[in-house]
Amino acid sequence: MTLSDYIPVWDKLSPAQQAQLLANTSSRSVKKGTVIHNGSMQCTGLLLVQSGQLRAYILSPEGREITIYRLFERDICLFSASCMMNSIQFEITIEAQKDTQLLVIPAESYGSVMEQSAPLANFTNEIMASRFSEVMWLIEQILWKSFDQRLAEFLLEESAIEGSSTLRLTHEAIGRHMGNPREVVTRMLRYFQSEGLIKLSRGSVELVDLAGLEALRDR
């Protein structure tokens, strides 16, 4: 995968702008568990995920973590280049969740093209808006708490009832049980899966971390 696969407005950049980005982009392989960026480090640059998985999290003063978002193949990490924008005033840590292959665009190169190119600036806006949306979703989950706890409880109950850690239930059916729209159920189930609590497959939900689900339920 090359830059044009990540940047849908690639064709709207001038040849000189394309060349500037290409000339400065490098490849990087990181092992699972590597901290690629943290708030206090220098500006790491934009990270383009070719394979593997990244996790962005914040740290409490006592060292507790919370995952803000995850990045998969084809995703771009913007906040590892936060020095590009004066108004970004928070510190985020980026860690490889799996062995990960990356492209790295230095913040200065990307920033200087973005300054001239309306299409690239608008594309960057869209990336930030999607991360913003993920963070707002997380806030809602944290604040109104009930739904993730209720869902964990429901899954544990069902599992006890069925005497199995694999539940043959559609998202629609769970939604009916819980009085929530299917979309809300699907989104939370995917979040559970990304947290390693469950594993989803067609028409079934496998509980893989019972202790984690119980901790969530009893939080």
- Site residues (vs a second copy, CB under 8 A): 58, 60-62, 64, 66, 68, 85-90, 114-118, 120-122, 124-133, 135-140, 142-144
In the complex, the smallest distance separating the C-beta of residue 98 from a second copy, rounded to whole angstroms, is 25
The residue among 52 and 111 lying less far from a second copy, judged by its C-beta, is 111
In the complex, the smallest distance separating the C-beta of residue 26 from a second copy, rounded to whole angstroms, is 24
The residue among 147 and 156 lying less far from a second copy, judged by its C-beta, is 147
Q: What is the SS3 string spanning the chain?
A: CCHHHHCCCHHHCCHHHHHHHHHHCEEEEECCCCEEECCCCCCCCEEEEEECCEEEEEECCCCCEEEEEEECCCCEECHHHHHHCCCCCCCCEEEECCCEEEEEECHHHHHHHHHHCHHHHHHHHHHHHHHHHHHHHHHHHHHHCHHHHHHHHHHHHHHHHHCCCEECCCHHHHHHHHCCCHHHHHHHHHHHHHCCCEEEECCEEEECCHHHHHHHHCC
In the complex, the smallest distance separating the C-beta of residue 57 from a second copy, rounded to whole angstroms, is 11
The residue among 13 and 207 lying less far from a second copy, judged by its C-beta, is 13
- The position carrying tokens 């190169």 is 109
In the complex, the smallest distance separating the C-beta of residue 91 from a second copy, rounded to whole angstroms, is 9
The residue among 28 and 55 lying less far from a second copy, judged by its C-beta, is 55
The residue among 57 and 209 lying less far from a second copy, judged by its C-beta, is 57
In the complex, the smallest distance separating the C-beta of residue 149 from a second copy, rounded to whole angstroms, is 14
